[in-house]
Amino acid sequence: MSDKKFSKVPASRLSRAGHLGGLTASLVTKSLLKGAGQLLSAKKPTMQSTVFTSDNASSIASQLSKMRGAAMKVGQMLSMDAGEFLPPQWEPILASLRAGADAMPKAQLLESLKHSWGADWPEYFEYFSFDPIAAASIGQVHKARLKTGETLAVKVQYPGVAQSIDSDINNVGRLIKLSALLPNDFDIEHILQQAKQQLKNEANYLKEAAFISAYQEHLQNDASFVIPAVYAPLSSETILCMEYIDGEPLEALLSQPQEERNEVMNTLFRLLLSELFEYSFMQSDPNFANYLYLPKTKQIALLDFGACQHISSTNRNQYKAMATAMMKSDIEGMKTALLELQLLHKNMPSEVTQAILDGCLIASECLHTKTYNFKQQALVKRLYGATQVLINNKRAVQTPEFDTALINRKISGMVLLANKMQSDLSLQHMVIDALALQANTT
C-alpha cells in the first residue's frame, strides 16, 4: 500500500460506539455553527450547505477509515451510490473511502494471526509481508509465500468487526436520522435489519470461499475472467487464503485505448446479465476495487465474493419483463414490472410515478442503439435531473425488498463504472442474447 495509514481497530462495541458518537456530535456542532454563521449573514441555512461541506466529509472519511467494519461499508456505499451528485469537494474524500481503510498496526495483526493459526504459524511460510497490499472495510490483505511454493493473498479480518455489526448499523442509522436526509417518520429499520444480515454473511470467510467455488463453476469455460483459487488448509471464518493475482486497478484503463476500455466494460456487463438471467446468482457489490485488469492476457480478475446472493426465479422474471419493456419503450409494461418489483406502488403521487417512468425511458436509450456511451450521452446526470422530484418526495418513494435493492445497486454501480471508463457499450445486442437464453432455459 502506498501512503498507508495505520491505526488500531476499535474492537469492542463500546469503543466503536464512542467513535460514531463522537463523529455525530462533531457533525452536529459543525453544522450548527455553519448554520448560525449563515443566519448572521442573512442567508438561509440549508442541509446542503451545513452538512455537505468538505470539513464534514473529511471528518466522516477519517473516522470511518479508522473504524472499518459495517460503519465504513456504509460510507463506501455512499461513495458508490451518491458520489456523482454530492458537491465536487467531496470527491477526493469519497475516493479515499473507495481506495481503502487504515491498516491495523503490526502488533494487532500478529494477535489476530496467532489467534487463528496458533503461535507456530510462521512455520507455514517462507515469506509473509506485514505491510498490507490492501485494506478494506472488513479486512486487510497480505502477500505471502508458503514453504511449498504457492504465493497467496491472505485476507485477515479486523478483530471485533463481526461482533459489532448490529451496534455499528444501529449507530449509523442514528447518524442518518440526525442528518435529516430522510423524513423523521421514515422507517428504515427493515432495511437496517437486512443490511445487518448481509454484512454478517460478508464477515464469514468460509461462506465467501463457497461463493468463490460457485463462480469458478459458472465461469470455468470463460477465458475472460480469472478467479483466485482458495487455499483451504489455512482458511477459516476470519482468515481467507487465496491465490495471489498480480494486476492493475480498473482506473488504470483510463490511459489505455478506447477499444481496450470498451472490451473490458462490455465483458463486465455480459457477466452482469449472466448473473441475473443465467446463473441466478450475483456478486452484488460493484466496488471498483473488486476487479483487477491483467494487461498481458486482457483478462479481468474478480477478487471479492463476500456480497453474493441467490436470485429467485420471481425476481429474475420481473427483471426480464422490465428489460423487455425497456427494449420496446413500453410504458405500461415498465409500470407493471416496476409495481411487481415494488419500485412503484399504486398510492404514489402521479408526479412521482411519472418521474420514475421518465427516468426509465431515459435509461432505455442504451438499449435502442448498437453502441452507447453513458458519459457522452450524459445519462447519469440526465437521470438525476429527471428524478429530482423523488428527492423532494421521500415519503412517497416505495422501499423495495432488500434483494431487489442489491440487484439495483449492482446495475447502477456498473453504469457508474462504465460512465467513469467512458466506454462504448453494445448493450442492445447483449440484452437481446441474454433474454433469448433465459427464455430457452425457463
Instruction: Give the CA distances from residue 138 to residues 74, 81, 293, 418, 423, in Å, rounded to whole numbers and listed in that order.
Output: 12, 19, 23, 26, 31
Of 69, 135, 131, 130, nearest in space to 96 by CA: 135
- Cell numbers linked to 217: 463453476
What are the phi and psi torsion angles at 175 (to 5°)? -65, -40
Pairing of the two strands 291-294 and 248-249:
antiparallel
Are residues 394 and 183 in contact, defined by beta-carbon separation less than 8 angstroms? yes
How far apart (Å, rounded) are the C-alpha atoms in residues 101 and 194?
Answer: 24
User: Residues with catalytic annotation?
Assistant: 285
How far apart (Å, rounded) are the C-alpha atoms in residues 358 and 353?
Answer: 9
- Helices 258-274 and 402-421: angle between axes, nearest 10 degrees: 170
Terminal C-alpha separation, the chain: 47
